Amino acid sequence: KPVSPSADNPFYTSEDLTPFQDATHYNNFYEFGTDKTDPARYAGSLSTSPWSIAVEGEVAKPGTYHLEDLLKGVDIEERIYRLRCVEAWSMVIPWLGFPLADLIKRFEPTLNARYIEFETLVRPAEMKGQRSRFSTIDWPYREGLRMDEAMHPLTFLSVGAYGKELLGQNGAPIRLIVPWKYGFKSIKSIVKIRFTDQQPQTSWQGIAPNEYGFYANVNPDVDHPRWSQRYERRLPSSLLKPSRIKTQMFNGYADQVASLYKGMNLRRFY
């Protein structure tokens, strides 16, 4: 489907796109190393075909699904989203993919499915960062969403970007995009989806629970303990034009998602 950007359409922001080169060479994907340039350097070793996803838990149709089968009959559309990293930088990226809700419906979750948990591939032979002895992360990388968040029309599964297939450093062959949450929620290279009745423990919650919450909604009023979230650097930035901009509540998607958190203390559920 062609993109039709407009001011009031949350699926397409009209802000300047981050150049392809920057979006593919400045990444956090610790499976390939902790430096921002590591993923671009080392993700070439990742083999993404064949690829299958295990579906478990509270669903009528559990099983291991081949990615090709999951993508059959799916309408690939483009979304231009802001991406806000918890480290206070941001980008604007044109993703290709489909709503997560479309996929979830096919597995027929039961009434007990209140949360959904994701896991990233563990393959140390191809993922250099997983061989590091100094990593604070207990692989596999895990993320999760509440069911209503997962079913929200903004929540997206991406298989491509910039009109091309997704590159390893961006989470090939399939990754999550939750544009109103900090980037680390948007888990990459997904191999497992589990439906549960209990809130799953995410990787970053396990590493530093006082710094990373389950929700991780972009919120300029709740600082990360080690840095402020009030501003962000829109990348690419330059020394002459630092492009420091104010961070928006829910990364600018408040009109669409604020109702999900009505009555919740966002300082407590950060």
Partner 1 sequence: MDLRQFERRLGKPLLFIVSLIPLGMLVWAALQNQLGTDPVKTLILETGEWALRFLILTLAVSPLKAWFAWTVVIRYRRMLGLYAWFYASIHLLIVLTYLFGWDWVIAKEELAERPYIFVGFAAWLLMVPLGLTSNNYAIRKLKKNWKSLHKLIYLIAVLAWLHLAWQIRASYLEALVYGLIIFCLFFQRLKKVYKRC
Binding site for partner 1 (CB under 8 A): 22, 25-26, 30, 34, 36-37, 89, 132, 134-137, 223, 225-228, 230, 233, 235-239, 242, 244
Q: Is 202 annotated as a binding residue?
A: no
- In the complex with partner 1, which residue's Cβ is closer, 152 or 234? 234
Tokens 């300029």 belong to residue: 220
| Max Cα–Cα distance, the chain, nearest Å | 56
- In the complex with partner 1, which residue's Cβ is closer, 65 or 212? 212
Which pair of structure tokens corresponds to residue 157? 């599964």
Q: How far apart are CA 216 and CA 155, in angstroms?
A: 14
**Inter-residue contact 30 to 160 (CB < 8 Å):** no
State in angstroms the smallest separation of the CB of 133 from partner 1.
8
Q: How far apart are CA 157 and CA 178, in angstroms?
A: 9
State in angstroms the smallest separation of the CB of 138 from partner 1.
11
- In the complex with partner 1, which residue's Cβ is closer, 73 or 225? 225
State in angstroms the smallest separation of the CB of 169 from partner 1.
12
- In the complex with partner 1, which residue's Cβ is closer, 69 or 223? 223
Q: How far apart are CA 35 and CA 38, in angstroms?
A: 5
Q: Is 210 annotated as a binding residue?
A: no
Q: How far apart are CA 266 and CA 169, in angstroms?
A: 31
State in angstroms the smallest separation of the CB of 30 from partner 1.
5
**Inter-residue contact 234 to 26 (CB < 8 Å):** no
Measuring CA to CA, which residue among 47, 226, 33, 32 is closest to residue 127? 32
- In the complex with partner 1, which residue's Cβ is closer, 38 or 58? 38
Binding positions: 27, 30-31, 85, 120, 170, 175, 186-188
Binding positions for Mo-molybdopterin: 27, 30-31, 85, 120, 170, 175, 186-188
